[in-house]
Structure 1
Amino acid sequence: MSVSRFTFFRSLYKLENLVLRRYSAQNAINLSDPAVQTYLNRLMLEHANLETKPRRNFEETRRLQEIKPIVLALEQRIALFESIDSLKELNKRDGQDEEIKKMIKEEAQIYLKRMKEVDGELQSILLEPVLTKGGVLVEVTTGAGGQEAMLFARELFEMYQSYCEYKDWEVDIASVEKSDLGGIRKASFLVHGLGAPELMRMEAGVHRVQRIPVTEKGGRIHTSTVSVAVLPQPSDVELNIPDRDLSIETKRASGAGGQHVNTTDSAVRIIHIPTGTAVECQEGRSQIKNKQIALQKLRTLLLQKQEEEQSSKINSERKSQIGQSNRNEKIRTYNYPQDRVTEHREGGGTTHSLKTFMQGGEPLEKLQESLLRQQRYQAVMTEINDFIARYKAETSAKS
């Protein structure tokens, strides 16, 4: 690709009012911004250098695949711009009859329409979150609010179960600690599927509920909180536990669960001897399945401990997720009297019909996707700003 084609951004900027629209919507990049154009220009140069390399290492191959869709969209924009530029030159020629001018105008409109479509495709490529197939451990813990908080913890837990079914994710309940009134003090489950790590990560934090307690009639509005922590599940390669380090006990399951659960030794308790970490699982009927779930939860907790020893990042991240479970710390508020759910993080907003939201379907999915796009937008803009800062520093050093 010739060097002159890389300068198209500068010329294209002059046609801003004709071809490009300034993206004022949330989660959109202003493609007419010279800084953004400089960044995209450099991506094209990087792609050309990587593509012509006779041999590439793993990281270079990964990077090439990452930026290739962006460059393909940019090359379409170049071709469209050149076609529009050719029509402009043709229109300047003397002696053109009205029929030819009409054809030029119609063809230009086609190119302009396609340019807008390519701009939209480019926005999607730049900002669409990457979803991976993997798993997470989700922990729901009662915060402030006593029995009312426990009842809402159960509702939140059930919402996540419905949502996982809606997303066709695999779910294994690891533990449920119930309250006397049918609420939940603490519960955890493993979820695995496409997009589960990224989408469920959006649920980490303090969830605040405002409503008249179901235990009271005609009472005042009560505020309660429930904390949600989301931890990545390790693979077998990341954390392999020798059998000699495990103490495995089986016992009869306790609490409600049906006749079969209560009359067989299906409950499993595993202790990691070196660290003393213990986990239990008695939610399933099969002892083998309960053992698998308990082992996966143990691996997740041990990986967390391992990373905490190496760095305080995971520990501080978890604290930032669940906070102190106080009423004034929240990522989302569920207001029953006003029938709305308010997401307080950037990229969120207010959703009405709280009952529909709590069914764990499309409204929750849309909210999570919006939050992910906002995070992606911030990450891309940070990358662009960092690049521009380096670019200016390099330019100043050469001058």
Structure 2
Amino acid sequence: MLLPKMTIIRSLFKIGRPSLLLRQCYSSENSLKLSEPAVQKYLRHLLLEHEEILIKSRRNDAEVKRLREIKPVVQVLEERIALFDSIENLKELNKKENQDDEMKKMVKEEAQIYLARLKEVDNDLQSVLFQPYLTEGGILLEVTAGAGGQEAMLFARELFELYEAYANFKEWEVNIASIEKSDIGGIRKGSMLIKGIGVPELMILEAGVHRVQRIPATEKGGRIHTSTVSVAVLPQPSEIELDIPDRDISIETKRASGAGGQHVNTTDSAVRITHLPTGTVVDCQEGRSQIKNREIAMQKLRTLLLQKQEEEQTSKINAERKSQVGSSNRNEKIRTYNYPQDRVTEHRPGGGTVHNLKAFMEGGDLLEELQESLLREARYQTVLSEIEEFSKKYGQEEASTS
């Protein structure tokens, strides 16, 4: 069955010279021109790639992931191929002589049905091509007050609460790892572990500098101040990905400090874990259970150690490349929260302005819609890059054979 199918694919995706500029492949409305040779080359590649992975008796994790990622696109393409095949059959049937008017009418009506469905399938293809691929996983999210003193700390608390509420809204698993509170109710730094479907792709979008513009709560009738809060998002490894021998850690327990009621303050629920080889220290005292606090602390420790490993590997490859924490992501203002104008402005491609700041800070639909818009734009740009890559590769191959 493979050879006939590939014959159909080649007949439908006849690739011309890919000398057209990439901008000719898409419109300003984030859609591809499916008739462009470079786009056809890309679609044909996806079909062939899917076939190559599918016929393998054994597949590695990367291949399994890739198969799941491109399967929705291939399914639509296969329907598109079947429609083209049906239309071609009708053309052949229409060429036959001695057909009565009734038969010609039936052929014409059926052709119109196929053409209408083809238009729908092309719309479906545009949709699935730019649909972000979400995976299940976890991250460590850290919120740190930046410029702005106490006002920055107050907004850091609000942003921290936003993400906790959003995690609950998405029905993700969320555990507070640590909170360093300020004197007037803000936080200097807070961290939480979030796990669930879509967490790695959606929450990485929050990494960067968040800017708030408002009259500080500490001033009455004052002027508008600008403060910043940095958000870092680190991928959370599994126990298998980063095993920590018991001999490499020191665990201390103590009574939790701060608010929490009599129970928290009179039991040894707080946990501090020190990774002896690196000196990395993590604390967790937010929960009432020592076992739970220890589990959260270990998850945080694994994440920080993995980040250190990645930083070391990165520095060896390219001394000027930095990891997310302490890199340009912190210097880039990704979003502005303007309280006097009741708006949230996302500065990255795919963003926009939300004119309901209070609702946005509740961590519900508005943040979800913004993240999905950013993801679709990112996916769109990824597809364009892949098309350009395949187009260049094809051009080089053609040049070498000519």
Structure 1 length-normalised TM: 0.88
Q: Which residue of the partner structure matches residue 7 of structure 2?
A: 3
Is 1:378 the counterpart of 2:372? The answer is: no
Q: Which of 329, 335, 339 is the matching residue for 1:336?
A: 339
Letter in 2 for 1:125: V
Structure-2 separation of matches of 1:319 and 1:176 = 20
Mapped partners of 1:49, 1:251: distance in 2: 57
State the one-letter code of the partner of 2:265. Answer: N
Q: Distance in 1 between matches of 2:266 and 2:103?
A: 88
- Write the distance in 1 (CA, Å) between the matches of 2:298 and 2:8: 59
- Matching residue within 200, 206, 210 for 1:203: 206
Q: Please say which of residues 213-222 and 174-183 is displaced more in the overlay.
A: 213-222
Mapped contact 1:229–1:321 kept (Cα < 8 A)? no
1:364 aligns with 2:367: yes
Paired position in structure 1 for 2:165: 162
Match of 1:311 in 2: 314
How many angstroms does 1:88 deviate by?
5.0
Query: How many angstroms apart in 2 are the aligned matches of 1:342 and 1:62?
Result: 34
- The answer as to whether partners of 1:136 and 1:230 remain within 8 angstroms in 2 is yes
Partner deviation per Cα, 1:124-144 (whole Å, 9 max, x = no partner): 332221211111000000011
The answer to whether the 8 A contact 1:27-1:373 is kept is: no
Query: Per-residue deviation at 1:52?
Result: 5.3
Q: In terms of mean alpha carbon deviation, does 67-76 or 89-98 score higher? A: 89-98
Q: Tell me, in whole angstroms, the C-alpha distance in 2 between the residues paired with 1:281 and 1:5.
A: 57
Alignment RMSD = 2.5
| 1:112–1:344 distance in 2 versus 1, CA, 3 Å | same
**What amino acid sits opposite 2:118 in the alignment?**
M
The residue number in structure 2 matching 1:219 is 222
- 1:391 is paired with a residue of what secondary structure? helix
Q: What percentage of aligned pairs have identical amino acids?
A: 68
Alpha-carbon distance in 2 for matches of 1:304, 1:345: 25
Query: Residue 10 of structure 2 aligns to which amino acid in structure 1?
Result: F
* Structure 1 position 188, deviation (Å): 0.3
* CA deviations over 1:166-200 (Å, ceiling 9, x no partner): 01111111111111111111100001111111111
Which whole-Å CA distance do the structure 2 matches of 1:180 and 1:348 have between them?
Answer: 35
Residue 125 of structure 2 aligns to which amino acid in structure 1?
A: L
1:317 positional shift: 2.6
Q: Superposed, which structure 2 residues align to 1:49-64 within 5 Å?
A: 49-51=52-54, 55-58=57-60, 63-64=66-67
Q: Distance in 2 between matches of 1:146 and 1:165?
A: 29
Please point out which of 326, 330, 335 is paired with 1:323.
Answer: 330
**CA 395–106 in structure 1, closer or farther in 2 if over 3 Å, else same:** same
3-state SS of the aligned residue for 1:302?
helix
- Residues 333 and 97 from structure 1, CA distance in 2 versus in 1: closer, same or farther, beyond 3 angstroms? farther
TM-score, reference length from structure 2: 0.87
C-alpha change, 1:234 and 1:94, in structure 2 (3 Å) is same
What is the alpha-carbon distance in structure 1 between the residues aligned to residue 230 and residue 109 of structure 2? 58
User: 1:68 Cα shift?
Assistant: 4.0
Instruction: Judge which range, 65-74 or 217-226, deviates more.
Output: 65-74
Residue correspondence of structure 1 range 246-285 to structure 2 within 5 A: 246-285=249-288
What SS does the aligned partner of 1:131 have? coil
- Label 1:176 to 1:46 Cα distance change in 2 as closer, same or farther (>3 A): closer
- What one-letter code is carried by the residue in structure 1 that aligns with 2:270? A
Specify every segment of 5 or more residues in structure 1 that has no aligned partner in the other structure, as ranges: 12-21
* Aligned equivalents of 1:10, 1:397: Cα separation in 2: 19
- Deviation of 1:62 after TM superposition, in Å, equals 5.5
Distance 1:226 1:322, change over 3 A: farther
Q: Where does residue 34 of structure 1 map in the other structure? A: 37
2:84 is aligned to 81
Q: CA separation in 1, counterparts of 2:141 and 2:274?
A: 20
Contact 2:42 2:386 in 1 (8 A): no
Asked if 1 retains the 8 angstrom alpha-carbon contact of 2:38 and 2:390, the reply is no
Q: Could you tell me whether the CA contact under 8 Å between 2:53 and 2:59 is conserved in 1? A: no
Flag the 1:276–1:32 CA change in 2: closer, same or farther, 3 A: same
